[in-house]
Structure 1
């Protein structure tokens, strides 16, 4: 339900400013921390989807290394589609990481400001400790997400190189040429997938901590 409301409220943000968006969400009973959890979950999902797209492109390229010349053009078109899908998924990952960081910074700014509103010093200190712990967990999460995202560009560049080369060289010599680069690309994609698995795991831990009141 929160995802649906957040999606609908995003329309408001497009028509106005971030402040109006947050105001609308608060009227619906959804605070910034809820939005942050939702966006972390979305970013986690996009990383999972990107993993599958990169894995599919690698498997497609692998299969091309052992096919007959007559099948090259058909498989080239499929590889090109896989590359475009991987590129689109990578863009979505970056957009969702940016969306996570936007609301996280707004949440922390608001939380810091509200610390000054306490009249009870004990409660203020407890809230500040909770804020610092949340900031610490978030810093680790965003660093992991960004590190995984940073592995995407080199992989996309190598995939693009292979697609461009095959576009004009659909023959056995082209297969021989890209075979020499395949092991490196395979290793890069495996590292990327492992980094994304780490980011997904960190995301789950962050979401669990936020939902438990951390």
Structure 2
């Protein structure tokens, strides 16, 4: 895996503005087929979701601590929430990017696989390969649905955090801090739902990776 990560890192510098077809072609010449690249990207997406899950949980705890305001610098409270919001937004964007990269290589892999099935002269081997492709696509579709569902759950949480940060930015007083408490129950529920969906998606990623090895 480390060998693949190094190769991907180096090639990403070369093909940042190039086409994916050239990228995959070069990777294959270096000994990395699309299946291996897909497994690597699913692993990366899994890791980014794990990091996002932890970040949103941390952001919620920070939010609770600000709501429980008992004195101190109000601007400091705002900075705490703003930092957590910006970090959460960054983690969310990374998750979305990683999901897109998974979709890209999966599409390339399945297109290539389907085309190569037509090249079999043996009907038995052709049927066997088609069955494996169908099964792999089925598992993949289940995975990508779980990833996208979890990703979508980030949006209401980010929107709520942004609202509170903006409100606090223009109302730096104890009354404004107190008003945030009214949103705490909703945000806690949204974060709880998000974490559950993230955990389901992570479990799907683990299961899918095992089928590719």
TM-score normalised by the shorter chain: which range applies?
over 0.9
Query: C-alpha root-mean-square deviation of aligned residues, in Å?
Result: 1.1
Match for residue 26 of structure 1? 28
Q: Kindly report which structure 2 residues correspond to 1:1-214, keeping only aligned pairs within 5 A, or say none.
A: 1-211=3-213
**Within 2, Cα distance between the matches of 1:38 and 1:180?**
43
**Within 1, Cα distance between the matches of 2:67 and 2:19?**
51
Unaligned runs of 5+ in 1: none
How far apart are 1:15 and its partner, in Å?
4.3
What's the TM-score once normalised by structure 1's chain length? 0.95
Deviations 1:37-80 (A, max 9, x none): 01000000111111121111111110012222323321220210
Which deviates further from its counterpart, 99-108 or 9-18? 9-18
What's the TM-score once normalised by structure 2's chain length? 0.96
Deviations 1:101-134 (A, max 9, x none): 0110110000000001111111111111000000
Unaligned runs of 5+ in 2: none
Q: After the TM superposition, which segments of 4 or more aligned residues of structure 1 sit over 6 Å from their partners? A: none
